[in-house]
Amino acid sequence: MKAKELIEFITRNITVGERTCDTVKSGDTQKEIRKVAVTMLPTAKMLTEAIEWGADMIIEHEPIYFNHMDEHIDSPVTLKKEELVKRSGAVLFRFHDYPHTHRPDMIDAGFISALGIDVKETEKVRGGHLFVSSTPMTAKEFALLAEEKLKIAHVRICGSTDTPCTKFAFCLGASGDIFETVVRDDVECVAVGEVCEWRVAEYVRDAAFFGMNKSLLILGHVGSERDGMELMCKELKSLFPSIEFKYFDNEEVYTYTDKL
């Protein structure tokens, strides 16, 4: 199979806007592929490991060069990563807009599957989607489950911790300004990757002070989205047994003193 054919397969029946970041970043799509690396973030460590593994193609969710469209940044780090990409000889394809445009959202699907929770999506909102759970769960219980199932070192909780919730919003990754989602009366608990603390987190803290059932779980970007990409890798393995697929995990970007 050529890289072009795999790209056509994973993007089939999904329509994204003209200005999409989901483009080939490097390599010849006519290349025959035997080893495909899948990852959340093409970090320098990940690229080095993929090169050592012999990847013919790399499918990544987030950008290589620290800006959404992967435009060139003149910096020493960017130049070193460009050298890694060139040395790999692999076809690099960004897979971000397509999985988020798909219904259901592929990243949400991996997140929910990894947690093992029973939720039903109700609507799309600013920054993510709303879900209703069949089983009430407190923010503390959700955080502990995420740390166990998603292998997140520390989930930060804002607001109410011990009030059962059934109305959730999942705004995974970097969802931008989710304030209008957080303030909704039909949203009790919001799970995010990254968030603006002075605006969103402080609103939730004040809401809980006034006795409202409102909580915010900050999971970290990698912790909130990687299971979606890992799930896709597993599915591709089953669909194309003649190709070797391998998921390359990214550790959390932070180092914690209790983990040193």
Q: What is the pLDDT of residues 154-185, one digit of tens each?
A: 999 999 999 999 999 999 999 999 999 999 99
Sign of CA dihedral 200, 66, 14, 113: negative
Sheet hosting strand 215-218, strand order edge to edge: 119-125, 128-137, 165-171, 189-192, 215-218, 156-159
Confidence bin at 259 (pLDDT 50/70/90): confident
Are the C-beta atoms of 133 and 170 separated by less than 8 Å? Answer: no
The total of other beta-carbon atoms located within 10 Å of residue 5's CB is 12
Structure tokens at 15: 């329509």
Distance of CA 97 to the CA centre of its chain: 11
3 state DSSP class of 91: strand
In the chain, pLDDT over 70 holds for what percent of residues? 100
The yes-or-no verdict on residue 72 having pLDDT over 90 is: no
Section 19-33 average pLDDT: 97
Give the global pTM. 0.95
Q: At 81, give phi and psi (nearest 5°).
A: -70, -35
Separation CA 28–CA 222 (nearest Å)? 29
The yes-or-no verdict on residue 21 having pLDDT over 90 is: yes
Mean pLDDT of the chain: 97
